Chain A
Amino acid sequence: MSAVPEGRQSQAAAPGKRGFVPWLTRRLGLVDTMEDQYNRIVPRHATNYIYCFGGIAFVLFVILAVTGIMLAVYYQPTPATAYQSVLDISTKVQFGWWIRSIHRWAAGGMVLLVFVHMLRVFLTGAYKAPRELNWVTGVVLFLVTLGFGFTGYLLPWDQKAYWATKVGTDIAGSVPVIGHFLLVSLRGGEQISAATLGRFYALHILVLPAVIILLLFGHFWMIRRQGISGRL
């Protein structure tokens, strides 16, 4: 980027610059890369608040990852103990009610923010060429976020969780031709059982996080390559 104001140059790694980050940047051979990142100028039209939704959704994802790891310390994914372990988190573990509440509210917030971010991208036409692929990864990211919500909903193993999952997997079962296969794959059998809980837990804490991190990496890499879309 040209026309960088004086004093903003070489923040990352001027040869003589002291401090840990410049030192690390030089050692890792990232001087040019970091220079490029530091010197990027956000277009004036993109400093509007409506351009913040995607970033907020990502912050919520980080919060969900941290609180989710913490909840996994005490949660026990078996039908006999799931409900009791969730009660224990909320009533006996110190700050457990807090961490669980953050996880739950951030989960709802992330679905909302991802959707609002999607609306912004749609309404500003930011999905158009050359950014079609980023729109596609974004749509998949939205579906993965909904997948997180759906699988996480079963984990407390209460009545609401059980019946919501019954309805949700029944809907999957209504798909023509492959419906029954989907239903059995999701439930781990014909009925909702310990197998369902195990599957949903594995999806929620292992499969979906791996998928979302890969997709997020692609999403962010593309926005850096393609730049922020132009003005309306």
Chain B
Amino acid sequence: MLIVLVNASRRQRSGVTRRGFLKWLIAGFGAASLAGVLYPVVRFLKPPAAVSGAIGQVVNVGAVSAFPAGQLTPVTVNGQPAVVANVDGAFAVYSLICTHLGCVLAVQGDGLHCPCHGSEFSATGAVVTGPAKLPLPPYDARVQDGSLLVGPVDLSKASYPGWYTGEFK
């Protein structure tokens, strides 16, 4: 490429000067840098489904009969994975996000298992085996007209892991 640019006869044939080439190169780097800055800005401004109306939004996750006693059933609440635990007719809903490093838990028998680092949680959201240290944050859940309604995570009941709240320890 350099040889092409230096060679005057070739330059005349291709019409590309050294100055013109460098101009386009710098403009290209500039445009790429600008795109790199603008891309996160545009993504930031795009409202994620989970954010619009996530505050105080109550979701109907289905009929009570869909959650048989003694079973753990994964559901989605405001775009976030959660699990419904039916313990002898009493419903509890927990976040399905591991409190260790944020992986989505899988239902395994009568408990929850983290595929990333092997943390185990009981049907009540308590830690059975580490590395997770904190229990799963509970959602607000209640039965109305035969349907299970799930509200936002109750911050007063939740003990969040350090990475989630950052400086708020």
Please name the residue on chain A nearest to B46 by beta carbon. Answer: A94
Of the listed stretches B4-12, B48-56, B66-74, B121-129, name the one at the interface; the rest are far from the partner chain: B48-56
A-side contacts of B167, CB under 8 Å: 158, 160
Specify which chain A residues have a CB less than 8 angstroms from the CB of B46 in the assembled complex. Answer: 94
Measured between beta carbons, the chain A residues less than 8 angstroms from B51 are 74, 88, 92-93
- Determine the distance from Cα of A160 to Cα of B167 in the docked complex, in whole angstroms: 9
Interface contacts (Cβ under 8 Å), in number, total 47
Contact between A95 and B43, CB atoms less than 8 A apart: yes
Question: Which of B55, B152, B164, B166 has the most A CB atoms < 10 Å from its CB?
Answer: B166
Shortest CB-to-CB span from A182 to chain B, Å, is 28
Are A95 and B44 CB-contacts (below 8 A) given A81-B55, A83-B155? yes
Q: Which residue of B lies closest to A156 (CB)?
A: B168
Report the separation of the CA atoms of residues A94 and B152 in the bound assembly, to the nearest whole angstrom. Answer: 20
Cβ-based interface call for A159 (8 A): yes
Question: Given the complex, which residues of A lie within 8 Å of B48, measured CB to CB?
Answer: 92-94
Smallest Cβ-Cβ distance to A70: which chain B residue: B44
Expressed in whole angstroms, the Cα–Cα distance for A23 and B133 within the complex equals 65
**Does B165 have its Cβ within 8 Å of any Cβ on chain A?**
yes
Whether A92 and B50, one on each chain, are in contact in the complex, defined by CB atoms closer than 8 angstroms, is yes
CA distance A158 to B45 in the complex (A): 25
Taking the complex as formed, is A77 at the interface, i.e. its CB lies under 8 A from any CB of chain B?
Answer: no
Q: Measured between alpha carbons, how far is A159 from B155 in the docked complex, in Å?
A: 13
Q: Could you tell me how many residues of chain B have their Cβ less than 8 Å away from some Cβ of chain A?
A: 18
- Decide: B45 and A84 in contact? CB cutoff 8 A: no
CB-CB contacts of B50-65 with A at 8 A, as 1s and 0s?
A: 1100110000000000
Complex alpha-carbon distance, A98 and B46, angstroms: 15
Residue of A nearest to B45 (CB): A73
Q: Is B34 in contact with chain A by the CB < 8 A criterion?
A: no
What is the size category of the interface that chain A forms with chain B? 20 to 34
In angstroms, Cα B79 to Cα A56, docked, is 41
Chain B residues near A87 (CB-CB < 8 A)? 164-165
Whether B44 pairs with A94 at a CB distance below 8 angstroms is yes
Bound Cα distance from A176 to B43, whole angstroms: 50
Which residues of chain A have C-beta atoms less than 8 A from B20's C-beta? Answer: none
In the bound complex, how far is the Cα of B44 from the Cα of A99, in angstroms?
Answer: 8
Determine how close the nearest CB of chain A comes to the CB of B15; give it in whole angstroms.
19
- 14 A-B residue pairings within 8 Å (CB atoms): A81-B55, A83-B155, A84-B155, A85-B55, A88-B50, A88-B54, A92-B48, A93-B44, A94-B44, A94-B48, A95-B40, A95-B43, A158-B167, A160-B168
Given contacts A88-B51, A160-B168, 10 further A-B contacts (CB under 8 A): A73-B44, A81-B55, A87-B164, A88-B50, A90-B166, A94-B46, A95-B40, A95-B41, A95-B43, A158-B167
Residues of B participating in the A interface, judged by any CB pair closer than 8 Å: 40-41, 43-46, 48, 50-51, 54-55, 152, 155, 164-168
Q: Lowest 7 A-B CB distances belong to which pairs? A: A95-B40, A94-B43, A158-B168, A95-B44, A92-B50, A92-B51, A88-B51
